[in-house]
């Protein structure tokens, strides 16, 4: 049976209220509803209401510690890390790679050097069915990757293995579909002008901005 405590009468002095409350607990009662009251020590009691409602912080804390939430957080972190790694790397295709895969690192370092990158690079060979392998160059940040993408075409002639090579961003599968569609349109436009006027940036066709007085790069018509 729950303990029944008297409601405070704001008209009573504080000491009078406590005295009456203690007297009620100590005195015998004829009311059967209070015969089961627990005896309390004869000292002044502070009657403090306890809220059963959870605070917002407690709810959030509990949700963050649940196994399903922790798994979601880990997966989100892994995806973010994977996305950052992709943006910090480039893919080289149609390069003349050595049968010895250990030479790939040397090729990657050559490409980075000619594109003005002084940081460390890691090179990985990506097998492709019925085609020559691709070369993935992992750089230190996305700014370096962007620099390679923008300067590779002008510098590939300095690298014997890359005279016929091309470079593209390291994309997810959905992004790669958009990238190829955009390049298909850029190739069509360049074929019409027989000059390299259009390229692909951020998965969209973009016009190349040349310096004042600079002639557009030559373009070999492709089918």
pLDDT-wise least confident of 33-42, 90-99, 126-135, 143-152: 33-42
The dihedral formed by the CA atoms of 8, 9, 13 and 19, expressed in degrees to the nearest 10? -50
Domains identified in the chain, total number? 3
> Structural domain of residue 102, as residue ranges?
88-170
Assigned domain for 23 exists = yes
Greatest Cα pair distance in the chain: 109
Assigned domain for 24 exists = yes
Assigned domain for 37 exists = yes
- Shared domain check, 165 and 97: yes
Q: What is the pLDDT of residue 15?
A: 55
Alpha carbon of residue 102 to chain centroid: 32
Assigned domain for 56 exists = no
pLDDT-wise least confident of 57-66, 128-137, 157-166: 57-66
Please write the tens of the pLDDT for every residue from 100-147.
Answer: 888 999 999 999 999 999 989 999 999 988 888 999 999 999 999 999
- Grade residue 44 by pLDDT with cuts at 50, 70 and 90: very low
Q: What is the pLDDT of residue 28?
A: 54
């Amino acid at each position: 049976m729950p303990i029944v405590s008297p409601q405070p009468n704001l008209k009573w002095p504080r000491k009078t209220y406590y005295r009456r409350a203690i007297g009620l607990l100590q005195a015998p009662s004829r009311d059967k509803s209070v015969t089961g009251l627990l005896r309390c020590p004869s000292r002044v009691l502070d009657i403090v209401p306890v809220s059963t409602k959870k605070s917002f912080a407690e709810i959030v804390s509990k949700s963050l510690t649940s196994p399903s939430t922790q798994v979601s957080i880990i997966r989100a972190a892994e995806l973010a890390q994977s996305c950052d790694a992709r943006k910090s790397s480039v893919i080289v295709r149609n390069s003349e790679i050595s049968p010895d895969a250990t030479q790939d690192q040397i090729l990657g370092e050559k490409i980075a050097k000619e594109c003005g990158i002084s940081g460390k690079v890691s090179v990985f060979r990506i097998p492709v069915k019925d085609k020559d392998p691709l070369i993935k160059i992992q750089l230190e940040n996305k700014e370096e990757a962007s620099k390679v993408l923008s300067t590779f075409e002008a510098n590939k002639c300095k690298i014997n293995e890359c005279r016929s090579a091309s470079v593209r961003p390291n994309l997810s599968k959905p992004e790669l579909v958009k990238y190829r569609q955009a390049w298909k349109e850029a190739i069509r436009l360049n074929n019409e002008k027989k000059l390299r006027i259009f390229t692909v940036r951020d998965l969209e066709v973009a016009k190349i901005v040349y310096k004042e007085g600079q002639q557009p790069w030559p373009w070999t018509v492709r089918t």
